[in-house]
Amino acid sequence: MTWQPNISGSKKPKYLALVDALERDIRSGVLRDGERLPPQREIAAGLDITIATLTKAIQEAARRGLVTAKTGSGTFVRGADETPAANRQVFDLSLNTVPSAPSKPFIDAALEAIARRRDSETLFGYEPAAGSEAHRSMMAKWLSQNDFAPTPDSLLLTHGGQHALAACFHALTRPGDVILCEQWAYTGIRRLAELCHVRIEGVAMDEEGLDPDDLAAKLRKTSPRFVICSATLQNPTTATMSLERRRKIVAACATAGVLLVEDDIYGALAGVALPPLAALARDRVIYVSSISKCLAPGARLGALVAPDDLLPPLQNALMSLHWTGPTLWAELFGHMLEIGAVERCVAAQQKEALHRLALFRDVVGIPASTTLPSYHTWLRIPASWSVDGFMAGLLTAGIRVSPAQHFAVSPPFEQAGPFIRLCLGGGDDTELLKEQLRRFRTVLSGGTDITTTIT
């Protein structure tokens, strides 16, 4: 068939606009029950969208009960007598979060202690955008480790890691600027670049993250405003730099006179005894941290540590993006830190993360991409599967993961990634996780190349 959806004029994200168009055409009779949709690449080419965006749309359409994906056959408009996918349990292994159970007793106790103080007038009043001196001192103390010793005066509090990264983009870039980051990177970076009209160039990666030689070449070629990367448990690949690699990355940026932004939100969970990039070049690195990946995703407290000359513009950006500091979260975290609950909470999350990585290894039968405590792993798709076919096979089994294309930051890398990111942190029921992994193993071990038939 030649169906091509119309998503022009929609203000929604493209994948949701596509689902809306699909639903509209089903209701109007343009698409009939049981009708097979065109191949994914055909639809994507007609709309000028990526396969990752289209896959996300098909997943959402299946969740709503609009389509049925059949391995080896294609994607079909769901017939009226079929069970809607929305009524079946869909296991979401695509969301990179942390479970609540390891942190719950510590956070509950801290909330109760804060509530007993009855000082809401302080907790909910205006504070400096970068946080009070007491809160910045508390955060500086927590971050001080592995040759890294930030001072309160060098530190700005933020409403989480994304807020910190947003401040860097708003303070340091102008429309048309170029930044460099890993070829596969956290999608929040791409969103910020689009918001600020900044162009991203990807740097090739290996098992330790940024490739120093490609970085040096890209630095000479593009003259970027800054380089943003993760040295520990990079998202999505879990790549972790050795000390030698960290020194090479810092040296390459120093030689080019280019600033580094270090996204270290997984550092506390990983517990690596290596200095962050910021410890190797205090005057060339902006350091970003957060508590969301070691305590709870909704705990919106982060930090920026920056060279002295960059603190004023970063503070102005924080004020523009959020008028007051994260007082409530800082008080909660400070209380937990004072009584030793943060250390115990992080240890509990590390233990749980290692337990889930072991479950993955035992159930799926292959090792995870990291031995560090992590709630996500990076896997190569078997050669017997195409990327599109594997994603469709998983969706048919009720499994959601994220393909490499979802994280590709520039066109040369969009088709160069037979990989997926699989997340283990959603939910507290490990028996349910085992069932998810059993289904994943079944699809993983039963693949055949169906590139020409899966849509």
Whether the per-residue pLDDT at 323 is higher than 90: the answer is no
pLDDT value of residue 413: 52
pLDDT attached to residue 73: 64
Interval 103-122 mean pLDDT: 93
Question: Which pLDDT tens digit goes with each residue over 148-192?
Answer: 999 999 999 999 999 999 999 999 999 999 999 999 999 999 999
- Which residue shows structure tokens 């909704």? 298
Mean pLDDT for the chain? Answer: 89
Helix residue ranges per DSSP H, 223-340 = 243-256, 267-270, 277-280, 311-321, 327-338
d(C-alpha 307, C-alpha 286), whole Å: 7
Residue 71: pLDDT over 70: no
CB 389 within 8 A of CB 450: yes
Residue 299's nearest CA partner among 166, 129, 423, 159 is 159
Highest mean pLDDT among 36-50, 77-91, 313-327: 313-327
Give the DSSP H or E segment for 263.
strand 259-263
Does residue 215 carry a pLDDT above 90?
yes
Residue written as tokens 């943060």? 342
- At residue 314, the pLDDT reads 96
Distance CA 287, CA 235 (A): 16
What one-character-per-residue DSSP string does 350-417 give?
Answer: HHHHHHHHHHHHHHHSS--S-SSS-SEEEEEPPTTS-HHHHHHHHHHTTEE-EEGGGGB-SGGGTTS-
Q: What is the per-residue pLDDT for 82?
A: 53
Residue 148: beta bridge partners?
Answer: 145
Which comes out higher in pLDDT, residue 452 or 392? 392
Q: How far does Cα 51 stand from its chain's mean position?
A: 19
Cα 303 to Cα 213: distance, rounded to the nearest angstrom: 30
**AA letter at 285:** V
Q: Flag whether pLDDT at 74 surpasses 80.
A: no
C-beta of residue 268 within 8 angstroms of C-beta of residue 291: yes
pLDDT exceeds 70 at position 453: no
Three-state DSSP state, 402:
strand
Alpha-helical regions (H) of 64-147: 104-117, 120-123, 133-143
Query: Among 19-23, 87-91, 231-235, 256-260, whose mean pLDDT is lowest?
Result: 87-91
- Examine the pLDDT at 448 and tell me if it is beyond 70: no
Query: Which pairing describes strands 91-92 and 399-400: parallel, antiparallel, or unpaired?
Result: parallel
**Using an 8 Å Cβ cutoff, are 110 and 341 in contact?**
yes
* Helices 341-364 and 430-445, axial angle in degrees (round to 10): 30
Q: What is the pLDDT of residue 85?
A: 47
Q: Tell me the pLDDT tens digit for each residue of 8-64.
A: 888 888 888 888 888 888 888 888 888 888 888 788 888 888 877 888 888 788 877
Q: Are 439 and 400 in contact (CB under 8 A)?
A: no
- Give dist(CA 167, CA 196) in Å, integer: 11
- Distances from the Cα of 49 to the Cα of 55, 184, 185, 249, angstroms: 10, 18, 19, 33
- DSSP conformation class of 294: T
For residue 416, give Cα distances in angstroms to 173, 410, 420.
Answer: 29, 11, 12
Q: What percentage of residues in the chain have a pLDDT greater than 90?
A: 62
Stronger pLDDT, 354 or 76, i.e. the higher one: 354
Least confident of 32-36, 63-67, 319-323, 346-350: 63-67
Cα 321 from chain centroid (whole Å): 21
Q: How far apart are CA 31 and CA 34, in angstroms?
A: 9
Task: Please report the pLDDT score of residue 383 as a whole number.
Answer: 85
DSSP three-state, residue 144: coil
